[in-house]
Amino acid sequence: MCELFAMSASQPTDVNHSLALLRPRGGESGPHADGWGVAFYEGRAARVFKEAVPAAQSRCLAFIAEYDFQSTMVIAHIRKANPERIGRTSANTHPFEREWNGRSWVFAHNGILPGIRTNPEFAARRFRPLGETDSEHAFCALMDAIAASHADAREELSADTIVDTIRPLVDKLTEFGEFNFILGNGESLIVHAHTNLHVLRRHCRVDGCQREVALIATMPLTDEPWVQLAPHSIHIYTDGREVPADADTAREHSNRRSVRRSDAAAPVMNN
């Protein structure tokens, strides 16, 4: 499959250490050798870097992992093509990006959704795939649902509104296969933990300012107390904090709170 990584922070933060740990999994210590990508948000716009080469061999990613890019939201992906015939091309490399309502929307997926590209229920409308992956097709379907439901939107959509809009479609798409994904728009990071995603919370003071950071990864990157997200759950992260998506999610958040207290004293270092 693939591996996902994302960060939400209350203050601009680098993810150098996390990318350095993720990079070998792309073809060296792990099998995800069919491309890599990382998006750094700068306000409403995303700066997206990606290559259809193994992450472990990429000089570009090695440079990025050492460069002091800082952001309050980052989304990254290392790819294992499945099926293999959908090969290494830039168009098939995550994360994918689209513009809507004056924002960059960025999406990365772990899993497979066989059959959705030929299913008329998910036919592309306003947003169309550039590549051949079911991942990008699913992203376009989500963006179509958001745009169609809020065609006259003149103000920012709340994360709750976005989740309420896409939840029925997400439920349908999970019937086709595995659908772990991260969707960001520079304001909110929306995470769907279908089968396997983990979160790590960090808190510290930097230059007299309290900083909160939430890291999301398919598999933990460090030996810190990562918490596995409940299967079939949707989570919203803004400024490094989790915002309950609805009453059910709020209850899940409350149940996990005691577990997460154990990482409250973990220092924020290079992520």
Q: Which residues of 212-243 are buried (b: 16+ CB within 10 A; e: fewer)?
A: bbbbbbbebbeeeebbebbeebbbbbbbbebb
Q: Is 60 a catalytic residue?
A: no
Amino acid 48 reads: V
Please list the residues that pair with 198 across neighbouring strands: 217, 228
In the set 2, 60, 204, 209, the catalytic residue is: 2
Q: For residue 94, what are the CA distances in angstroms to 49, 134, 231? A: 10, 12, 23
16: its two tokens = 């150098």
What are residue 172's phi and psi, to 5 degrees?
-70, -40
Q: Which residues are catalytic?
A: 2
